[in-house]
Amino acid sequence: MEERFFGLLRDNGLKATKGRVEVLRLFFKAGRPLAQKQIMEMLRLKLDRASVYRILNAFTGAGIIHMAFVDGRHRVYELPGKCSGRNCHPHFSCRGCGMTACLEDFKVYYKGALGKGFVAERQKVLIEGLCPNCRPDRDRRHE
C-alpha cells in the first residue's frame, strides 16, 4: 500500500513526504469525507495545522482529493471518483459529532436550464441532522 501512495504523489508532481503519505493513508483508510480538524485528530504523525492545510491545498490542486463541500469556514475533503465533474453525490453532516458521510445511493439530478440567465457548473447537496450515534431517541438497550 505504501508504494501506491508514493506512486500517486509522484504521478501528481508532489514529493512523498512523511506528512503527505500519512494524510493520504488517512483518506484511504477512512473511506469517507474528512475535515482538517478530523485529520489532525487521526494523525499518528504530529503535524501542525498549517502543515495539514498546505497538504490539503496541494492534494486539492493536484486532483488527489476534492472539496466535498464548504460550510462557512468549515471545509470537508474526500477522494475523487464518486462524483462527476458536474454532479456530486449528496453528503450528510452530523450536527452532534461533526461526522460527514457520503450518501452515494441517494441521487439528486437536475435537467436542463435552471431558469433564464442561470448556468449550472456543479451540483452539491448537503443534508444536516443527527447520525445514529447522536440521535436523542436512540435505543441504547440493544448495544
Residue 77 lies in a domain: yes
Phi-psi region of 34 (alpha: psi -120 to 50; beta: other; left: phi over 0): beta
Q: How many helices (H) and strands (E) does the chain have?
A: 4, 6
Distance of CA 40 to the CA centre of its chain: 14
pLDDT value at position 142? 47
Residue 143 lies in a domain: no
- Ranges of beta strands (E only) in the chain are 34-35, 66-71, 74-78, 91-94, 100-102, 126-129
Residue 130 has pLDDT above 80, yes or no: yes
Residue 137 lies in a domain: no
Into how many domains does the chain fold?
A: 1
What does each C-alpha distance from 50 to 35, 40, 59, 70 come to in angstroms? 14, 11, 14, 18
The domain of 78 spans 2-129
Residue 107 has pLDDT above 90, yes or no: no
Confidence band for 54, pLDDT divided at 50, 70 and 90: very high
Q: How much of the chain is helix, strand and coil, in % rounded to 5?
A: 35, 20, 50
Is the CB of residue 107 less than 8 Å from the CB of residue 83? no
Residue 142 lies in a domain: no
What's the predicted TM-score (pTM) here?
A: 0.67
Residue with cell 444536516: 128
Is the CB of residue 77 less than 8 Å from the CB of residue 30? no
Reported as a single tens digit per residue, the pLDDT across 3-12 is 888 899 999 9
Residue 82 has pLDDT above 80, yes or no: no
Reported as a single tens digit per residue, the pLDDT across 31-40 is 888 889 999 9
What's 75's domain CATH number?
Answer: 1.10.10.10
Reported as a single tens digit per residue, the pLDDT across 17-33 is 999 999 999 999 988 88
Residue 45 lies in a domain: yes
Provide, rounded to the nearest whole percent, the portion of the chain with pLDDT above 70.
77
Residue 141 lies in a domain: no
pLDDT value at position 128? 84
Residue 19 lies in a domain: yes
